[in-house]
Amino acid sequence: MSQSYRVAILGATGAVGTELLTLLEERQFPVSELKLLASARSAGLTLSFRGQDIPVEAVSEDSFKGVDIVLASAGASISKAWVDRIVAAGAVMIDNSSAFRMVPEVPLVVPEVNPEAAKEHKGVIANPNCTTILMSVAIYPLHQVQPIRRIVAATYQSASGAGARAMEEVKVQSQAILNGESPTPEVLPYPLAFNLFPHNSKLGDNGYCEEEMKMVNETRKIFGEPDLRVTATCVRVPVLRAHSEALNLEFDRPFDVAKARELVQQAPGVELVEDWEKNYFPMPMDASGKDDVLVGRIRQDISHPNSLEVWLCGDQIRKGAALNAVQIAELLVQKSWLKPAVAV
């Protein structure tokens, strides 16, 4: 990384945007110039980067001139609104929204799983959904050795998945309940403090919500397995940060548990956390602020000889969002895959 690059963060003041800023500094990404872009109401704020206060600018048609990489985390509608400008300016957009994930010509990348897909970009690379990223990193090492035939996932998703305002709302609601008051939901549809509910994304005709279908469709695309059987139930839980997932993995023949533990222990981006004597396994409190996905409680499914049970926790804002995007940027730089092939 001897060369340096001009980077823009679109959605710089959000929970993921500020984490992107932190990670660029922590990982010493070769930034020669940094632009912080957000809505007009955030313009004029300043954020610190490498000891300097950088002003936040309102995104405009001229914002992307001379920029090499745009790390976008401002929502699907904003990404769609600016993608043509970004690509026309010659930058590569690494997009954290759902806008382009299932567009066939847009790579959907988890660097530990399908790094080569990034090479095929045409100016846009999609960052997968948080739950999909965490699950993919944890189970792909097993899939490489013995293909997974079916995944049954149950997620326990923290408030951070709905943004910084949702995290603050849980704190306020918790205090209200402890004070004997009724909690008032504003960001999320129902009170989350001391409560949980099925994920609040839009329900489809098949009874699955958008979040659940993201796990189904994105996992198939990342693994390159269009017929992989995946089902998911996604739940919001009163945890501030870090998602958890309970996974049932079915193979075409038995998978040795000891071998599975060994593969997880050796896998990049994963940490095996198991203390069977103390009944100690991954927890959101342990995963918060960490880059690795914590995996544990790997055990034989007693109801099916060809299935394993796996539990994981991962920081939704870091590996589930910002870190994965920065790792994609690092991949582009290391492999010299930065320049777009053609405009989208």
| Residues 327, 303 share a domain | no
pLDDT tens sequence across 124-142: 999 999 999 999 999 999 9
Distance CA 95, CA 75 (A): 9
The CATH number covering residue 10 comes to 3.40.50.720
Distance CA 98, CA 108 (A): 10
Domain assignment of residue 97, given as a range: 5-128+321-335
| Residues 159, 255 share a domain | yes
Parallel, antiparallel or unpaired: strands 31-38 and 52-58: parallel
Tokens for 260, please give them: 């599975």
Quote the mean pLDDT of the chain: 95
| Residues 205, 160 share a domain | yes
Distance CA 24, CA 36 (A): 13
Distance CA 255, CA 264 (A): 13
Give me the mean pLDDT over the 196-204 stretch. Answer: 96
| Residues 149, 124 share a domain | no
Tokens for 293, please give them: 């996905």
Tokens for 20, please give them: 């992107």
Give me the mean pLDDT over the 152-160 stretch. Answer: 97
| 203 pLDDT above the threshold of 50 | yes
| 300 pLDDT above the threshold of 90 | yes
| Residues 152, 62 share a domain | no
pLDDT tens sequence across 51-95: 999 999 999 999 999 999 999 999 999 999 999 999 999 999 999
pLDDT of 339: 67
pLDDT-based confidence at residue 164 (cuts at 50, 70, 90): confident
b/e map 205-243, b = 16+ CB within 10 Å: eeebbebbbbbbbbbbbbbeeeebebebbbebbbbbbbb
Residue 183 falls inside a structural domain:
yes
pTM above 0.85, yes or no: yes
The CATH number covering residue 142 comes to 3.30.360.10
pLDDT tens sequence across 5-36: 999 999 999 989 999 999 999 999 999 999 99
Structurally, the chain folds into a number of domains equal to: 2
Distance CA 112, CA 260 (A): 17
Which residues have a catalytic role annotated?
130, 243
Residue 199 falls inside a structural domain:
yes
| Residues 68, 181 share a domain | no
| 182 pLDDT above the threshold of 60 | yes
Q: Which amino acid makes up residue 98?
A: S
| Residues 182, 114 share a domain | no
Residue 340 falls inside a structural domain:
no
| Residues 162, 310 share a domain | yes
pLDDT of 155: 98
- The residue assigned the tokens 């489809």 is 204
**CB-CB contact of 328 with 127 (8 Å):** yes
Q: Across 252-320, where does the E strand assignment appear?
A: 270-272, 293-300, 307-314
| Residues 145, 120 share a domain | no
Distance CA 167, CA 23 (A): 20
Residue 263 falls inside a structural domain:
yes
| 293 pLDDT above the threshold of 50 | yes
| Residues 44, 164 share a domain | no
Q: Which amino acid makes up residue 99?
A: A
| Residues 278, 171 share a domain | yes
Distance CA 124, CA 276 (A): 44
pLDDT of 286: 98
| 342 pLDDT above the threshold of 50 | no
| Residues 72, 146 share a domain | no
pLDDT of 163: 87
Q: Which of 141, 108, 145, 137 is nearest to 124 (CA)?
A: 108
pLDDT of 210: 97
pLDDT of 2: 63
pLDDT of 343: 38
